[in-house]
Chain A
Amino acid sequence: MTTGPRMTTGPVDARGRALPRQADPSQPLLVVENLRTHFSLDGDTVRAVDGVSFTLQQGEALGIAGESGCGKTTTALSLVRLLPSNARIVEGSIRYFGIDLVQKSDEALRRYRWREISIVFQGAMNALNPVHRLRDQIVEPLRERLDLSPVAARKKAGDLLELVGIPRKRGSAYPHELSGGMRQRAMIAMALACDPAIVIGDEPTTALDVMVQAQILELLERLRRELGLSLVLITHDLSVIAETCDRVLIMYAGRVAEEGRVSEVFRAPRHPYTQKLLGAFPNIQADRRTLEVIPGSPPDLRHPPPGCRFAPRCPAAMAVCTEVVPPEVTFGGVRVACHLYPLGSDGEPVIVGSLARPVGAGDARSTATAEPVSR
């Protein structure tokens, strides 16, 4: 897929895409360090994202999972500073090929939006403007951000539609005339318009039925391979992550609980929260067992508990958990923040609670969500 008119004399990434002049291709694609995004609400400060770090390599697919309200969407939106007026990034860095986006002014940051990092919102929402035709909405970033001529933009818009499996003719339709699945595809086409390096998917398959979900995921996977995209997938649905992502980041109450390769984390979850999440998964192959329910609810982020935020609900909580924030420790590619794995420990997973054995990654096939379904 050819890109828009760009100078190719500057830095380029692994795909040969031109990068912003300040970019350093030897640096990792995205390094987020100690990101803190806080909201001010009715005089209180909601610490929605409170010290999140991760790295994204070129061509990688990272899934960010967690309950509603754990801060995963806020984290993703912070990357392009798409925050409401009462939210601010108060600390941390977001380095895109070495360029710290947090330090950029609003106007300077605008340049990075869509051209380097784009977002696919839930198509079922009102993410498409109801009074404009589909192809006009795809043409818009092509003309406004890439300065394509009207003719070239229309042609490319048609190409993009076909790329995601929508017949070119359907471009003249309005959003309300399309099914949920087609709207989601259209959103993907829009997200690819400026040939970004990173595509963030914010719950891209929620509110779609299972068959359509599978199609969309297949599409994303195909596009990733063909275009060499890097994906950040936000979802509470672990099965989606199991199918499409290389690595997974489990968030809880604004912080990272566990992070690592999907195969490893799903095979041997270390953090008690991850274990609970995976245990809340109905396993078609396993013998009938009652679903694990995580008692309690996430903390109020206006007044988060000191120490580990999961401690109030953790079956393995120790005294230190309510006092000291657990340090992040890495074992063989998996990062955990839990006092069960202090600095210097061997990193062997500690099975918590009544979960007799860890669930294998291949068992995560149904569409159950991370939140437990009661019988």
Chain B
Amino acid sequence: MKGGYLARRLVSAFITIVLITVVNFVLFRAMPGSPERVILRGTPNVTQAQLQAARQRWGLDKPVFPDQFVAYIGSTAQGDLGYSFIARGRTVTEVLGQRIWPTVVLFGLGELVAIILGLALGAYTGWRRGGPVDHVGNSLSLVLYSTPYFLLGMLFLLIFATTLRWFPTFGMLTAGMQYPGLWERAVDFLAHLTLPLATVAFGLVGQYAIVMRSSIVETLSEDYVTTARAMGLREGRILRHHALPNALLPTVSLIAINLGYVVAGAITVEVVFNWPGLGTLAVEALTARDYPVLQGVFLLLGVSVVLANLVADLIYGALDPRVRT
């Protein structure tokens, strides 16, 4: 039973990843003008010979389908994502590898904090409907939901960094600093991490709280909760043992579905704080029209989101016995 569910999800994830790769390929080839001109942009007076050499180098002299396509899929599967246009001959993979972990730290921690806080807040307000915490929390969540992450980030910057001077304004570490030891380095890192982390976490908390709250409210009106009350169980036990496991289900779904959108927000937060991760990389590549890097980012983020969705599906399967059959 469980095996079937798992297998289906794996196949689905694999197909999606293949599709992402195909889209990537089509996009690159869909560029107007011959791709070579874009490659050699910035180089004045391109000669035919130079063009021909570029074409050969990038494998553009072969027919698009199947040769180029197969070559592309093949090299992607092997982890060869081509060369960055801008970064002087370094491979896209190298460039990505350098910028990935700041994003993982920021985004991962942010999601973690948001999930814990959001679910707790949502469960509490759903349980104690109508209380002052509920009303304030609801309004706050609504406003936060309407605020783009980067705007929140800029406001935090203005208030906490520029005006109050509690935190630094940009980057991951203070530029040009020499650290006497690991501790100092860690402290500086954390100081730089705080505001962007707070931005990501605040942006997400509201959504998670709202969904958890409505989920708990709905669950508490279900018949099995009435049965639990009729049994004389304590409210705390009913909430924890009966309501929560059921209420988590739509919340897990939401967190998964949301990941695609959160990526957008994370990119912009990095830009605001000049956090050297994939987000700033994407914007830099965009400005410089460094398409291989852009595609690499798309592939990487796309695959990550698909995998995260897969994990969420597995968690959902673990929580809800009804989907396992």
- Residues of A at the B interface (CB closer than 8 Å) are 80, 82, 110-115, 118-119, 121, 125-132, 140-141, 144-145, 174, 176-177, 190
Q: Which residues of A contact B242 (CB under 8 A)?
A: 129
- Which of the candidate stretches B83-91, B101-109, B117-125, B231-239 sits at the interface with the other chain? B231-239
B227 at the interface (CB under 8 A from A): yes
Cross-chain contact A145 with B322 (CB below 8 angstroms): no
Cross-chain contact B321 with A131 (CB below 8 angstroms): yes
Cross-chain contact A111 with B319 (CB below 8 angstroms): no
Given A131-B320, A174-B322, A176-B322: A126 and B230 within 8 A (CB)? no
Q: Which residues of B contact A177 (CB under 8 A)?
A: 325
Shortest CB-to-CB span from B264 to chain A, Å, is 33
Cross-chain contact B245 with A126 (CB below 8 angstroms): no
Given A129-B242, A130-B321, A176-B321: A121 and B223 within 8 A (CB)? yes
Shortest CB-to-CB span from B131 to chain A, Å, is 13
Query: Which one of A82, A115, A144 lies within 8 Å of B237 (CB-CB)?
Result: A144
Shortest CB-to-CB span from A206 to chain B, Å, is 14
Shortest CB-to-CB span from A197 to chain B, Å, is 14
Within 8 A of A (CB), among B41-74: none
Q: Which residues of A contact B224 (CB under 8 A)?
A: 126-130
Query: Which one of B229, B233, B245, B322 lies within 8 Å of A144 (CB-CB)?
Result: B233
A27 to B320, CA, bound (A): 48
Query: Which one of A113, A130, A174 lies within 8 Å of B230 (CB-CB)?
Result: A113
For B278-318 the 0/1 string (1 means CB < 8 A from A) is 00000000000000000000000000000000000000000
Q: Which residues of B contact A144 (CB under 8 A)?
A: 231, 233-234, 237
Cross-chain contact A140 with B320 (CB below 8 angstroms): no
Q: In the complex, what residue of chain B is closest to A112 when comparing beta carbons?
A: B232
Chain B interface size, under 10 / 10 to 19 / 20 to 34 / 35 or more: 20 to 34
The CB with the most chain A CB atoms within 10 A, among B222, B224, B325, is that of: B224
Q: In the complex, what residue of chain A is closest to B232 when comparing beta carbons?
A: A113
Cross-chain contact A129 with B230 (CB below 8 angstroms): no
Q: In the complex, what residue of chain A is closest to B320 when comparing beta carbons?
A: A131
Query: Is chain A's interface secondary structure helix, strand, loop, or mixed overall?
Result: loop
Q: Which residues of B contact A127 (CB under 8 A)?
A: 223-224, 226-227
Q: Which residues of A contact B174 (CB under 8 A)?
A: none
Within 8 A of A (CB), among B238-288: 241-242, 245-246
A311 to B222, CA, bound (A): 37
Cross-chain contact A141 with B231 (CB below 8 angstroms): yes
Given A130-B322, A144-B237: A121 and B231 within 8 A (CB)? no
A182 to B142, CA, bound (A): 45
Known: A130-B320, A144-B237, A145-B232. 12 other contacts (CB 8 A): A113-B229, A118-B231, A121-B227, A121-B230, A126-B222, A128-B227, A129-B245, A129-B246, A140-B241, A144-B234, A174-B322, A176-B322
Cross-chain contact A126 with B231 (CB below 8 angstroms): no
Cross-chain contact A118 with B230 (CB below 8 angstroms): yes
Shortest CB-to-CB span from A189 to chain B, Å, is 13
Q: Which residues of B contact A114 (CB under 8 A)?
A: 230-232
Given A126-B223, A130-B224: A174 and B232 within 8 A (CB)? no
Jot down 16 A-B pairs with beta carbons below 8 A, ordered by A: A80-B230, A110-B234, A113-B230, A113-B231, A114-B230, A115-B232, A118-B231, A126-B224, A127-B223, A128-B227, A129-B227, A129-B242, A130-B246, A131-B320, A145-B233, A177-B325
Shortest CB-to-CB span from A187 to chain B, Å, is 8
Shortest CB-to-CB span from B250 to chain A, Å, is 13
Within 8 A of A (CB), among B208-234: 222-224, 226-234
A112 to B231, CA, bound (A): 9
Q: Which residues of A contact B229 (CB under 8 A)?
A: 82, 113
Q: Which residues of B contact A132 (CB under 8 A)?
A: 245
Q: Which residues of B contact A140 (CB under 8 A)?
A: 231, 233, 241
Q: Which residues of A contact B321 (CB under 8 A)?
A: 130-131, 174, 176
A301 to B223, CA, bound (A): 25
Q: In the complex, what residue of chain A is closest to B325 when comparing beta carbons?
A: A177
Shortest CB-to-CB span from A266 to chain B, Å, is 31
Query: Which one of A110, A125, A130, A176 lies within 8 Å of B232 (CB-CB)?
Result: A110
Q: Which residues of B contact A176 (CB under 8 A)?
A: 321-322, 325
A132 to B222, CA, bound (A): 15
Cross-chain contact B320 with A82 (CB below 8 angstroms): no
Q: In the complex, what residue of chain A is closest to B249 when comparing beta carbons?
A: A131
Shortest CB-to-CB span from A116 to chain B, Å, is 10
A110 to B234, CA, bound (A): 8
Q: Which residues of A contact B245 (CB under 8 A)?
A: 129, 131-132
The CB with the most chain A CB atoms within 10 A, among B224, B229, B230, B321, is that of: B230
Shortest CB-to-CB span from B135 to chain A, Å, is 17
Q: Which residues of A contact B228 (CB under 8 A)?
A: 129
Cross-chain contact A82 with B325 (CB below 8 angstroms): no
A141 to B320, CA, bound (A): 22
A131 to B323, CA, bound (A): 11
Shortest CB-to-CB span from B232 to chain A, Å, is 3
Cross-chain contact B230 with A82 (CB below 8 angstroms): yes
Shortest CB-to-CB span from A112 to chain B, Å, is 7
Q: In the complex, what residue of chain A is closest to B324 when comparing beta carbons?
A: A174
Q: Which residues of A contact B322 (CB under 8 A)?
A: 130, 174, 176
Query: Which one of A125, A130, A145, A174 lies within 8 Å of B231 (CB-CB)?
Result: A145
Query: Which one of B226, B237, B246, B319 lies within 8 Å of A121 (CB-CB)?
Result: B226
Cross-chain contact B226 with A82 (CB below 8 angstroms): yes
Q: In the complex, what residue of chain B is closest to A130 when comparing beta carbons?
A: B322
Cross-chain contact A131 with B232 (CB below 8 angstroms): no
For the complex of A and B, the 8 pairs showing the least CB-CB separation, nearest first, are: A113-B232, A129-B224, A126-B223, A127-B223, A174-B321, A114-B231, A110-B232, A125-B223
A257 to B321, CA, bound (A): 47
Q: In the complex, what residue of chain A is closest to B221 when comparing beta carbons?
A: A84
